[in-house]
């Protein structure tokens, strides 16, 4: 009897050690350093120039708009976290204003391409948000608002 208990105890310790967390796992990639407003504006402008074949004049105007927007976003992030709904409306209005300014600079063909890029980005965002919402519910039964009555 003692041998059986001792054998089981050794086997349990062996399994525990075998399934212990591997301490040599690689950590997540370190976060990239935060870009300045100028760097973010330059990055966005360069991407738009590549996608839309901007002229030099368009590039400078869009850079100015993007720089202004990046500085506003920095100010909003560092501001007091009080009235979030009001701030979200303010941000939405600023984003809409920025889109209107950029659309005013682009040609008709460039606007068409830009609208396609925006639609694609919106679709990706919705898909991402949808995936985030389902994260914890993969193996759970669906929630039924009106469960069937038994009787």
Blockwise average pLDDT, block size 10, the chain, 151 residues: 85 73 64 84 91 90 91 80 76 88 90 89 87 61 59 52
| Model pTM score | 0.60
Q: What letter does residue 96 receive in the DSSP assignment?
A: H
| The pLDDT value given to residue 63 | 92
Q: Tell me, what's the pLDDT at 94?
A: 87
- How far, in Å, CA of 117 to CA of 111, rounded? 10
Nearest-angstrom CA–CA distance, 94 and 26? 41
Q: Distances from the Cα of 111 to the Cαs of 31, 46, 90, 117, in angstroms?
A: 34, 17, 25, 10
pLDDT of residue 67: 92
d(CA 96, CA 122): 14
Q: Give pLDDT, residue 42.
A: 92
Angle of helix 56-78 versus helix 37-52 axis, rounded to 10: 140
Nearest Cα neighbor of 54 from 115, 122, 119, 109 is 109
């Amino acid at each position: 009897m003692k041998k059986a208990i001792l054998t089981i105890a050794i086997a349990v310790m062996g399994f525990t050690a075998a399934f212990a967390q591997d301490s040599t796992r690689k950590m997540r990639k370190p976060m990239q350093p935060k870009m300045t407003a100028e760097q973010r504006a330059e990055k966005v402008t360069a991407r738009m120039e590549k996608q839309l074949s901007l002229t030099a004049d368009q590039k400078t105007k869009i850079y100015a708009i993007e720089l202004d927007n990046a500085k506003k976003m920095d100010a909003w992030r560092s501001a007091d976290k009080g009235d979030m709904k009001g701030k979200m409306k303010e941000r939405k209005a600023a984003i809409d204003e920025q889109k209107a300014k950029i659309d005013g600079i682009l040609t008709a063909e460039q606007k068409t391409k830009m609208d396609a890029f925006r639609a694609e980005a919106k679709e990706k965002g919705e898909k991402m948000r949808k995936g985030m919402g389902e994260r914890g519910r993969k193996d759970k039964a669906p929630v039924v608002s009106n469960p069937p009555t038994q009787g």
